[in-house]
Structure 1
Amino acid sequence: MIWVELLIVLLFILIGARMGGIGIGYAGGAGVIVLTMVFGLEAGSIPVDVILIIMSVIAAIAAMQNAGGLDYLVHVTEKILRKNPKRVTFLAPLVTYFMTLLSGTGHTVYAALPVITEVSKEGNVRPSKPLSISVIASQIAITASPISAAVVIFADYLEPLGVSYLQLLAVAIPTTFLAVMGSAFIANLMEKPLDQDPVYLKREAKGLVKHLDKKDHKDSKSAKFSVGIFLAAIIIVVAYATLTSENIGIITNVTISRNQAIIAIMLLTAAVIALVCKIDIGKVTSMSTFKSGMSACVCVLGVAWLGDTFVSNHIEEIKEAAGGLLNSYSWLLAVILFFASMLLYSQAATTVALMPAALSLGVSPVAAIASFAAVSALFVLPTYPTLIAAVEMDDTGTTKIGKYVFNHSFLIPGIITIALSVVFGFVIGGLIL
């Protein structure tokens, strides 16, 4: 029956992917009903901490967006990119990587996509190159962000094995950063300049390509304050998590756990931004980041619960079938995570569903951390919101989804980035841990 139940899991994930957006969460819940009531499995654990961390971080980011903080960051991004338009393939993913690293969500990339597209045109660079690697950078940076749910939960799994939160970041940040820059270098070598692209030339002749005028932006003090407050909160989160780590043990009488502290600090951050910047609280829930974040919570709830229901009921069979193979070829974990995240559509959901099982099978912490970036294969199916947004923003026609579905602009850069990150992870992880 295990194979029938696995097919049920995959079926509902595919149904959810077909529905798109929040639909994958709906389908996950429906799958739990079928597995428990039809096949008699016990319901798995609901990833409460993951959902609460996402909610609290998004609450703070939405408050910052309401105060103009995201617009301020985009204006800073625009200045950086316009100074070096011919190097946009390197600078754009650098910007989106750090936006995600600091915010804990890849949905902040939406605001930067129009800027990247316009600067690419100015530098005679095919927008598909910087846009594709920028979207990939915004996804893989989740596995290095100090406040992302995936990293925080993964750190919980690693601490009993002697790996601290700070050690996880010390491996994850440089490996993912180097992978993004390596992929950008490769992307820069690919394809011809924009003015030699036949699709662009046809669209330009038909007047379908817009060329926007440069505008002067005036950023309010509240916008700058909101960004400063949010960055200060991230520093506090990292400091608290480090000081309370069992491996460091500077603070031993811990009255609030790391996960609870992150939730509380993010809510406090939102309150401080609201008071200092005098934002309209009623408009926070209408912010684009809030809508995207809450949608992500439902998705994680459904698919992670579905995945855990299947895995927790068959953990012994999984250990017997995969234990020896993963111990002998630990890099296979990256392959498993890659294909799982392709379907689960969430780094946090994939981490919750598979990492505990992998570690219980005896996979070493080094191998688990090195493979961690593979939970970011959200680009394989061309239906992820940031990917679709990048295609829609590029009016030159160079960023596209092919008629065979998988032949889209993001697949090769994404695979290269994850592969490089895994390789770097084994090297750097072996040196640090």
Structure 2
Amino acid sequence: MIVVELAVLLFFIYLGSRLGSIGIGLAGGAGVLVLTLGLGMTPGHIPIDVILIIMSVIAAIAAMQMAGGMDYLVYLAQRLLRKHPKYITVLGPLVTYSMTLMAGTGHTAFSTLPVIAEVAKEQGIRPSRPLSISVVASQVAITASPISAAVVFFSGILEPLGVSYIELLMISIPASLFAVLIAALVTNFLGLELSKDPIYQERLAAGLVSSASRESQQVKPGAKRSVAIFLMGILLVVAYATAISDKVGLISDPILSRDQAIMCFMLSIATLISLVCRFDVAQITNAATFKSGMSACVCVLGVAWLGDTFVSNHLSDIQALSGDVLSDYPWMLAVVMFFASMLLYSQAATTKALMPAALAMGVDPVAAIAAFAAVSALFVLPTYPTLIAAVEMDDTGSTRIGRWVFNHPFVIPGLLTIVLAVAFGFAIGPLVV
């Protein structure tokens, strides 16, 4: 029977990936329906906490966007990239990494990818190099963001095991950042030089490559204030989460849990931005970040619920089969997370579906943190929104999907980044915990 149930799980994940975007969440819900009413399985836990965190964070980001804060951040990024254009393959991923780290969502990369592609083309640099590693950096940074749903959930299940929120960040931030930097240096040598790429030459001869254009960026009056308020909110979240940690113990009996505090802080920050920056609050729901964030909520709802339904019903069998292997070879957890995230399409969904089971099997918390970066293998299937956007924004044709689907320019930078991040995690973890 387990074979049939696994086949149903994989079918609906595949169906969702074929539908794309919000479709993976829709298909996940349909999969739960078949597993429960069709095959008699007990429904798993709905990831309500993760969804509520995403909603509250996205509300604050969307408010900042409507106040002009996102445009201001893009303006700063554009100035940096144009000031040092020769280093675009290193600076590009640093920009997308930093924006994701601050915002808790990789969708912020949408606003900077056009600038990265344009600057690379101006310098005669193969755009696939900075674009590929920048997309990967925006995905891996989720595992280091203090306000991402994946990090907040993971820290919550680590706390009872003696690992604090701040210790998780002290491992995941340097591990992922060092990995991105090294991978960027390697990526700078991947692929033919743009001038030698035959597809680029064909497109250039056919007039399909546009000339670079520099549009002046209009920054709204309240843009800087909105960014400052949002950054203040992030600092408050980190400070409160640290203060209520058992190891710090500044607040021994907190009124608000970590999850509740993040929701309250983010909604309060959105309120403050709306009041101080004075814009039509009704327009928040029209912001691009709000729409993508709500889509992410549906994806997490369907996919994480589907994954938890299968795992929770077979946890004892999984423990019997995998417990000893993961105990002897903890790095294997990274392999499991890597392939799971390819299908589950979300760092938060993968973390919610598999990390509790891994820790229940006796995986050491430090090893689990080291493997955490592997939940970011969203680049393998060339269907993720930021990956598709990077392909569409590169009119030189260098960032293209190969005939065999998996042979695209995001694979090598992504694999290298995750392998390095996991290796750095295993090296840094024992020094912190």
CA–CA distance in 1 between the matches of 2:217 and 2:321? Answer: 59
1:250 matched residue in structure 2: 250
1:169 matched residue in structure 2: 169
Deviations 1:55-88 (A, max 9, x none): 0000111111111111111111110001111110
1:93 matched residue in structure 2: 93
CA–CA distance in 2 between the matches of 1:29 and 1:192? Answer: 44
**1:199 and 2:199 are equivalent in the alignment:** yes
**1:126 and 2:107 are equivalent in the alignment:** no
1:46 matched residue in structure 2: 46
Among the aligned pairs, what percent are the same residue? 63
**1:6 and 2:6 are equivalent in the alignment:** yes
1:26 matched residue in structure 2: 26
Kept after mapping to 1: 8 A contact 2:121/2:212? no
Deviations 1:385-427 (A, max 9, x none): 0000000000110001111111111111111100000000000
Letter in 1 for 2:232: A
Once the two structures are TM-superposed, the CA of residue 213 in structure 1 deviates from its matched residue by 2.8
CA–CA distance in 2 between the matches of 1:100 and 1:216? Answer: 24
Kept after mapping to 1: 8 A contact 2:93/2:137? yes
Kept after mapping to 2: 8 A contact 1:44/1:312? yes
2:293 matched residue in structure 1: 293
Deviations 1:256-309 (A, max 9, x none): 111000001100111111111111112111111111000000000001001111
2:408 matched residue in structure 1: 408
Deviations 1:335-394 (A, max 9, x none): 000000000000000001000000011110111000000000011110000000000000
Worse overlay, 184-193 or 56-65: 184-193
Once the two structures are TM-superposed, the CA of residue 193 in structure 1 deviates from its matched residue by 2.8
Query: What RMSD in Å do the two structures reach over aligned CA positions?
Result: 0.9
**1:264 and 2:264 are equivalent in the alignment:** yes
How does 1:129-208 map onto structure 2 within 5 Å?
129-208=129-208
CA–CA distance in 2 between the matches of 1:213 and 1:305? Answer: 45
Name stretches of at least 5 consecutive residues in structure 1 with no aligned partner: none
1:113 matched residue in structure 2: 113
Kept after mapping to 2: 8 A contact 1:86/1:124? no
Worse overlay, 14-23 or 196-205: 196-205
**1:55 and 2:59 are equivalent in the alignment:** no
Letter in 2 for 1:389: A
CA–CA distance in 2 between the matches of 1:214 and 1:196? Answer: 26
Letter in 2 for 1:137: A
CA–CA distance in 2 between the matches of 1:431 and 1:133? Answer: 28
How does 1:202-281 map onto structure 2 within 5 Å?
202-281=202-281
Letter in 2 for 1:358: A
- Structure 1: which 4+ aligned runs deviate by more than 4 Å? none
CA–CA distance in 2 between the matches of 1:287 and 1:228? Answer: 19
Deviations 1:142-175 (A, max 9, x none): 0000000000000011111100000000000000
Kept after mapping to 2: 8 A contact 1:101/1:141? yes
CA–CA distance in 1 between the matches of 2:87 and 2:206? Answer: 28
How does 1:71-82 map onto structure 2 within 5 Å?
71-82=71-82
How does 1:317-328 map onto structure 2 within 5 Å?
317-328=317-328
Deviations 1:21-54 (A, max 9, x none): 1111111111111111122111110001100000
Once the two structures are TM-superposed, the CA of residue 432 in structure 1 deviates from its matched residue by 1.1
Kept after mapping to 1: 8 A contact 2:16/2:28? yes
Kept after mapping to 2: 8 A contact 1:402/1:408? yes
Kept after mapping to 1: 8 A contact 2:122/2:212? no
Letter in 1 for 2:219: D
TM-score, normalised to structure 2, is 0.99
SS of match in other structure, 1:74: helix
Letter in 2 for 1:200: Y
CA–CA distance in 1 between the matches of 2:24 and 2:118? Answer: 33
1:104 matched residue in structure 2: 104
Deviations 1:188-230 (A, max 9, x none): 1223332222221221222111123323334233011111110
CA–CA distance in 1 between the matches of 2:190 and 2:86? Answer: 14
CA–CA distance in 1 between the matches of 2:218 and 2:114? Answer: 18
Kept after mapping to 2: 8 A contact 1:15/1:24? yes
Kept after mapping to 2: 8 A contact 1:60/1:269? yes
CA–CA distance in 1 between the matches of 2:401 and 2:214? Answer: 29
CA–CA distance in 2 between the matches of 1:213 and 1:329? Answer: 52
CA–CA distance in 1 between the matches of 2:113 and 2:66? Answer: 19
CA–CA distance in 2 between the matches of 1:22 and 1:216? Answer: 34
CA–CA distance in 2 between the matches of 1:39 and 1:216? Answer: 58
CA–CA distance in 1 between the matches of 2:281 and 2:216? Answer: 28
CA–CA distance in 1 between the matches of 2:252 and 2:328? Answer: 38
Kept after mapping to 1: 8 A contact 2:77/2:95? yes
Kept after mapping to 1: 8 A contact 2:43/2:309? yes
Once the two structures are TM-superposed, the CA of residue 6 in structure 1 deviates from its matched residue by 1.2
Kept after mapping to 2: 8 A contact 1:337/1:350? yes
